[in-house]
Amino acid sequence: MIHSDHQFDAIVIGAGHNGLIAAAYLGKAGKRVLLLEAATRLGGALTTAEVSPDYRVSTGAHLLDALPRRIEKDLKLAKHGLRFAARQLQTIALDRDHNHIVLALGRGNLDILRRHSAADADAFAAYLARMKSYSAVLGPLLRDALPDIEPETMSRRLRRLVWRAQRLGGETLESLMRQLPGSIGDLLNDTFETPLIKGALALDALMGSGEGPYSAGTALTSIARQSLRSISKGPHSIEGGLGGFTDALAASAASYGVVIRAATDVKRILVSDGHVYGIETQTNEIYEAPFVLSSAHPRETMLDLVGAKYLDAGLVKQLNEITDTGTTAKLNLSLDGLPTIQGLAPQEYGARILVAPSLVALDDAYTAFKHGGIASDIPMEVTMPSVIDAPLVPSGQHVMSIVMQYVPYEIKGGWEQGRDRLVDRAIETLSAYAPDLRQRIVAGELMLPPDIENKFGLVNGGWYHGDMRLDQLLSFRPAPALARYATPVKGLYLCGAGSHPGGGICGLPGEYAARLVLSEGARA
């Protein structure tokens, strides 16, 4: 191939973490790669910025939870600046009576559980073991690239799953089959007595989801998340916030010769005789390549950038039916010191903290969400990254990063009047555990689902380019004809969060799509 400034071996659309990973793998394989990003900054929702002068925090997502160590090593991310402030953060469920529960095994944790319920202390280890066995059975389907959807191939895969379940215990598969269609709420009610542990484990399964604790299929959602998280034994906190992660990815890609152009919006993907041959930007520049990978939403890629005329009517219908539910708001706070959370040890302030006192509170919040309201008790995931990453803030100061679950895209009366009410409700909820929080606040920044959509290009403010639910997983993600990254347009591949396995910051769609392109290129 004759290389010029407008001719490449592959073009990658979108420089979120999946697009960066895909481009880096292709570059590492010796391909001449162009990576285009519409925004002025790389990283998508994984960026770091100031809340107020000198107070920095992860703007959107705030924890790295499922990145395989393999990707870290393959792309030499440590060499390119990736540093962990803390690996394998503890997850702590806050209790209003100060008997906070650490969601992990350990003598101290079980002693605290016994203060709530002696039976639950015994049940907790069994529950974790059961979820681990479920994850071991389903893990290869949930974490690996899907095989060719042929009866013989799928039959062999299912036989291996059954064999694996039998090795783990004769009841594992039968128990798993009973649980998959059910709800996480019913599973937890059948297992535990303590409202706090049920609320926290349910929130852990539902963060970013538009489903409620008693929605069908949410038991599978929980198992899927556990399976993805087990890849890296996350969650982890990154030095400099999650912008430090995407900066390392960008440096890795650049080291392999990837040409990266920010503030370059793609207008359309160019197709001739059913084969992609490049892209055209909004400024009418044309770049040519025999392979194009898109980390944009599958619907945007196929319907807006390619066009329905190249697709059959059934696929167009499936793409239009992808559900994206914005359910979270992000509140970042600058603080003049650590708030006091009674019962929390000093070393625990850097943990991942969940606020979900019970399944009842979680279900009430879900009901309010469905009706366009704000819950009286907002479920939250909270981190204070400056506790373990002091350079984020001035000496002695802190930042708090809060992801609020069940915040609707639209509310009755509109968000113009509701923004301050939501912030006040969030601080009121947290003040039940940290009474001095309000007095510590120096400044704050709120992003509602519409703000997340506008800032990061996430449809409806949803995290995953398609909700992680039973009918949008595995071979249904994003649609059966697109489940293995290739599309009906030859040379065009999907590599974003809307592709299998989807949710969590795992980077697998980017890696698997790049590997498929390299294998297809080798056969061409």
Task: Give the model confidence (pLDDT) of 377-435 as tens digits.
Answer: 999 999 999 999 999 999 999 999 999 999 999 999 899 989 999 999 999 999 999 99
Residue 158 has pLDDT above 50, yes or no: no
Phi, psi at 112, each rounded to 5°:
-65, -40
Answer yes or no: are the C-beta atoms of 489 and 275 closer than 8 Å. Answer: yes
Q: What pLDDT is recorded for position 524?
A: 54
Determine, yes or no, domain membership for 318: yes
Q: What pLDDT is recorded for position 154?
A: 45
Determine, yes or no, domain membership for 21: yes
Q: What pLDDT is recorded for position 163?
A: 52
Based on the domain organization, do 219 and 272 belong to the same domain?
A: no
Residue 107 has pLDDT above 80, yes or no: no
Residue 48 has pLDDT above 80, yes or no: yes
Q: What pLDDT is recorded for position 56?
A: 98
Based on the domain organization, do 157 and 226 belong to the same domain?
A: yes
Q: Taking residues 14-24, what's their average pLDDT?
A: 98
Answer yes or no: are the C-beta atoms of 229 and 135 closer than 8 Å. Answer: no
Q: What is the 3-state secondary structure (H, E, C) of 102-115?
A: ECCCCHHHHHHHHH
Q: What pLDDT is recorded for position 171?
A: 55
Residue 110 has pLDDT above 80, yes or no: no
Task: Give the model confidence (pLDDT) of 187-203 as tens digits.
Answer: 999 999 999 999 999 99
Based on the domain organization, do 255 and 201 belong to the same domain?
A: no
Based on the domain organization, do 137 and 156 belong to the same domain?
A: yes
Based on the domain organization, do 129 and 210 belong to the same domain?
A: yes
Determine, yes or no, domain membership for 105: no
Based on the domain organization, do 73 and 168 belong to the same domain?
A: no
Q: What pLDDT is recorded for position 89?
A: 93
Residue type, 86: A
Determine, yes or no, domain membership for 379: no
Q: Is the dihedral of CA 315, 320, 323, 329 positive or negative?
A: positive
Determine, yes or no, domain membership for 334: no
Determine, yes or no, domain membership for 148: yes
CB half-sphere exposure, 453, CA atoms < 13 A: 14
Determine, yes or no, domain membership for 114: no
Q: What pLDDT is recorded for position 152?
A: 47
Which position has the higher pLDDT, 153 or 467? 467
Q: Taking residues 203-229, what's their average pLDDT?
A: 88
Q: What pLDDT is recorded for position 1?
A: 44
User: For residue 443, what pLDDT band results from cuts at 50, 70 and 90?
Assistant: very high
Based on the domain organization, do 187 and 207 belong to the same domain?
A: yes
Tokens (6 digits) for 336: 């003049």
Q: Which domain holds residue 152?
A: 123-230
User: For residue 155, what pLDDT band results from cuts at 50, 70 and 90?
Assistant: very low
Specify the number of domains making up the chain: 2
User: For residue 2, what pLDDT band results from cuts at 50, 70 and 90?
Assistant: very low
Q: CATH number, domain at 502?
A: 3.50.50.60
Q: Taking residues 312-329, what's their average pLDDT?
A: 95
Q: What is the rounded distance in angstroms from the CA atom of residue 243 to the CA atom of residue 249?
A: 10
In percent, how much of the chain has pLDDT > 70? 91
- The angle that helices 172-179 and 151-168 make with each other, rounded to 10 degrees, is 120
Residue 74 has pLDDT above 70, yes or no: yes
Based on the domain organization, do 128 and 197 belong to the same domain?
A: yes
Determine, yes or no, domain membership for 279: yes
User: For residue 77, what pLDDT band results from cuts at 50, 70 and 90?
Assistant: very high
Based on the domain organization, do 248 and 164 belong to the same domain?
A: no
Count Cβ atoms within 10 A of the Cβ of residue 308 and give its class: 0-12 exposed, 13-18 middle, 19 or more buried: middle
Q: What pLDDT is recorded for position 130?
A: 83
**Mean predicted lDDT score pLDDT of the chain:** 90
Give the strand pairing for 55-58 and 84-86: unpaired
Task: Give the model confidence (pLDDT) of 113-137 as tens digits.
Answer: 888 888 888 898 888 888 887 777 7
Q: What pLDDT is recorded for position 353?
A: 97
Task: Give the model confidence (pLDDT) of 271-284 as tens digits.
Answer: 999 999 999 999 99
Based on the domain organization, do 245 and 223 belong to the same domain?
A: no
Based on the domain organization, do 270 and 201 belong to the same domain?
A: no
Q: What pLDDT is recorded for position 318?
A: 96
Task: Give the model confidence (pLDDT) of 224-260 as tens digits.
Answer: 888 888 888 879 999 999 999 999 999 999 999 999 9
User: For residue 365, what pLDDT band results from cuts at 50, 70 and 90?
Assistant: very high
Based on the domain organization, do 197 and 271 belong to the same domain?
A: no
Q: What pLDDT is recorded for position 138?
A: 74
Q: Taking residues 467-483, what's their average pLDDT?
A: 87
Q: What pLDDT is recorded for position 161?
A: 53
- The angle that helices 118-143 and 151-168 make with each other, rounded to 10 degrees, is 150
356: left (phi over 0), alpha (psi -120 to 50) or beta: beta
Residue 62 has pLDDT above 50, yes or no: yes
Q: What is the rounded distance in angstroms from the CA atom of residue 203 to the CA atom of residue 321?
A: 26
- SS3 for 335? strand
Answer yes or no: are the C-beta atoms of 469 and 327 closer than 8 Å. Answer: no
